A and B are shown apart, each in its own frame.
Chain A
């Protein structure tokens, strides 16, 4: 795999700076516990005339950054400027497209589009005219009087775009705008937006989009900022100088996608002290945050890896394409396998270990035994629960005993998710049983 370098004279330098974020940090305070750092030392500059992508997996704080730039959230520290002025609340000249569309169900398409203009106090006649223009531009003619619930997902997101464009924003923020759509619809909509952009008909001066879809980022953006997780940092910035319209099969395009996959699975450089050296999850020891991944997905991925054509080793973009999964779905599964030492991740590849291969070939009981062994060995929380249950004469322990300990390290939500991950893995491994009514762990299995 080669690192693709592009050298082009940056023609944007003279364009006015819209967003200027320097040394920004976002922290959540949580009682007496150590603060949870969501974003750390983030610097971003966005100029007029470019499409910038924020790429990272969930929990990397990219959506938080988007909300800080839009003024919906206040940064804990650092400089955040919009058009040269500090951001104190939702800014003028910005608009936003939401992942969930965020349309008002009780308003028609036309009324939904008009709402941004209402907020600016635009007179009724002009409002109507501009809204109709935006609807026309985005290809919603004929749907003006429909209610959102009568539209398909793709049409709803078109309303979302029309609503964001009608105010003629200097910067349009997009929060994973295509991820709630099916593959075909998403592709059509992306192409439409890019076509309008190339033709200069899109009434937005710049676009900042959050995505976890690598190909989408390469397809649309002029510049991609890759975020690492926990805390969120800008790990790399990549310029994309391919000509529009871009072709997904173009070797340069593929090389760039491969490069980004590699960067996103790369272990932290040795010199930098980071918590996530051993594996992808934040925190160490008991306080490691675990994703809630079903054991079916874990064995499913291992089986797919073991089978033809991969025979135990696969390129992440390939297997992501075959399994129709996005980074956000695939990475946590692969990383859980890595944590349990069933697979290894390196340079955009995922490879089954010997034990992983053994797992795939085993029957149900053997699989459970293997899983239990590795769970105790490599997941400290599971080991702790098992040890406490063994030590106590009653062989029982309440849920809160562990959850509260976790909350010393993690936020409440993350602690809950980690607990439910461990419960479901422990149940599968028959390491312990858990009674959801009584909220208690025990060693007994119901007889």
Chain B
């Protein structure tokens, strides 16, 4: 028998493509955000609520990731921004190669802020760099305050945590303080914003965060 040392990561190929995406986006002056959450946390609703505000200051483009259907892309397209829908056909997360193909379907000269809505999943998207500048994690209060501890990597990888559906707080068991504290144990640098896509409360805090982030990213 003959031992061959390998030491190669299964994600190396994804990282290479993600680095190409990042370079490609930079070259076009585009800041990219990867929005992740469990199914039903409100990713598309957050886009539908915030894009009209963001579009006043940014040239927004959207990539939608879903296992099937184009309903999310249709909801976003109704806002009048360019959108491309990726259907992963069963794959539980977006990977850099899928985003690479999508970038070729969008007019990158017409965009300066790209929002990628990942497939709803609390595990897999964490390990797949897409070439984004920041990750935004969405947790709705109806999912429970134990999720940061249960799915730490997703929270660890995020720069911003959005706690959605705060209008439901009187009706669900969700300890805001605990969720904030445990998320920051996992990612001490995490920004946290509470909002409701149903009532619109706090959406301006979210768009303000994006404005600040974009400004910082461009100054780099």
The yes or no verdict on A and B being binding partners is no
Please list the residues of chain A having a beta carbon within 8 angstroms of any beta carbon in chain B. none
